[in-house]
Amino acid sequence: MLSQNELKQQVAKAAVEYIQPFLGSGVVVGVGTGSTADLFIDHLAGFKDQFMAAAASSERSAQRLAGLGIPVLDLNEVQGMPVYVDGADEINARLQMIKGGGGALTREKIVASVAERFICIADESKVVERLGKFAIPLEVIPMAVNAVARKMRTLGGDPVLREGFITDNGNPILDVAGFSLDDAAQMEAIMNNVPGVVTCGLFAIAPASVALIATQQGLRTMK
């Protein structure tokens, strides 16, 4: 039986193979955040002569990329990217995700929005029938924490302030548990509309384009 880390290794390697046809001399690769994304970065470094640079969704990933000799561009310098590769905390059959367990959700959503394709990489423990068992992270403007928390309670959620954590953008995170989502896109729209919410960790309105899932039986591709 493969460990979770071995499964993550497997899918990280598969992701580098998957994006190879999209690489080229002027290409910028969008790179996500998290332990699976870290392993992807490590494998990507072996192919750094095949693309121009990366755009990263966190300071952490930017540092790892730069440390491996991959140039990192500010997103304002990037016109577009063929692929964005990132992990997820949960993903359903429609390729809708909950992300932000690592706290990088805002930059993840921004970088993903500039890419033509979102390639989700995960081990099979992340695949769910319904999103919501994993608490939905909300990046919130500091003065709005209590107002947003009250609003989440009226929606039936159970918000908890993530202790001792501030995002790369200088904001706190509320983790909202208690939902089992039939319509994740609708909930994302509702959460996006609450004043003070910077970003909601539901990636349902714009789901992944493809998911590469490492399982004990081998690699599974979900489209």
**100 touches ligand ABF (CB under 6 A):** yes
* Amino acid in position 158: D
Token pair, residue 218, equals 């081998």
Centre a 10 Å sphere on the Cβ of residue 157 and count the other Cβ atoms it contains: 22
Least distance from ligand ABF to the Cβ atom of residue 49, Å: 26
Candidates 12-20, 87-95, 109-117, 141-149: pick the segment binding ligand ABF (CB under 6 A).
87-95
For the bound state, the minimum distance from the C-beta of residue 193 to ligand ABF, rounded and expressed in Å, comes to 22
Q: Which of 17, 77, 90, 108 is catalytic?
A: 108
In single-letter form, the type of residue at position 159 comes to P
86 in contact with ligand ABF (CB under 6 A): yes
Q: Which of 99, 107, 151, 162 binds ligand ABF (CB under 6 A)?
A: 99
Could you tell me the two tokens for 19? 């994006």
Give min distance, CB of 211 to ligand ABF, in A. 12
Residues 6+ apart with CB under 8 A from 190: 155
Write phi, then psi, for 176 (nearest 5 degrees): -110, 110
31-60: which residues touch ligand ABF (CB under 6 A)?
32-37
Q: How far apart are CA 48 and CA 66, in angstroms?
A: 11
Q: State the DSSP code for 18.
A: H
Q: Which amino acid is at 212?
A: L
Q: Does 159 bind ligand ABF (CB under 6 A)?
A: no
Which of 99/151 has CB closer to ligand ABF? 99
Segment interacting with ligand ABF (CB under 6 A) among 22-30, 43-51, 99-107, 192-200: 99-107
Do the Cβ atoms of 103 and 165 come closer than 8 Å?
yes
Which residues make up the interface to ligand ABF (CB under 6 A)?
32-37, 86-89, 99-102, 105, 108
Residues designated as active site: 108
